[in-house]
Amino acid sequence: MKKLENKTTTMRKSETDFMTFADLCVMCVNNVPEGATISEMRNLQKVVDVCETGKLEFEDAVFSTLKTRVDAMKWGVVSKDIVEFGDAIDSAE
């Protein structure tokens, strides 16, 4: 089991709402430029399901899927929040 704190970032989701680490997780798993098979979608959906609870506690296999997607993500902005998110993924226990 791997746990992450669902921190709120300074990055805006809307005019009144800020992104959380759960939002960043979902962004990473939804970024599939090479496409995804149904089997891959099932695994990615498990990450989304955890994120939708707001409590970021992942079974090891689900966390492995998330980490693979985070490592593959190409970000279009430079942000200390994203670096902090990456560090949290790398040090999750």
What residue ranges do the domains of the chain occupy?
A: 2-6+20-90
What is the three-class DSSP state of 9? strand
- Check: CB of residue 47 under 8 Å from CB of residue 66: yes
The neighbour count for residue 41, using CB atoms within 10 Å, is: 14
**Which two three-digit tokens encode residue 37?**
């098979």
Number of H helices, E strands in the chain: 4, 4
Whole-number average pLDDT of the chain: 95
pLDDT digits (tens, 9 = 90+) for 51-74: 999 899 999 999 999 999 999 999
What is the pTM assigned to this prediction?
0.92
| 75: exposed, middle or buried (Cβ count in 10 Å: 0-12, 13-18, 19+) | middle
Stretch 22-35: mean pLDDT, rounded? 94
Please check whether residue 18 is in contact with residue 9, taking contact to mean a CB–CB distance below 8 angstroms.
Answer: yes
Q: What is the mean pLDDT of residues 4-25?
A: 95
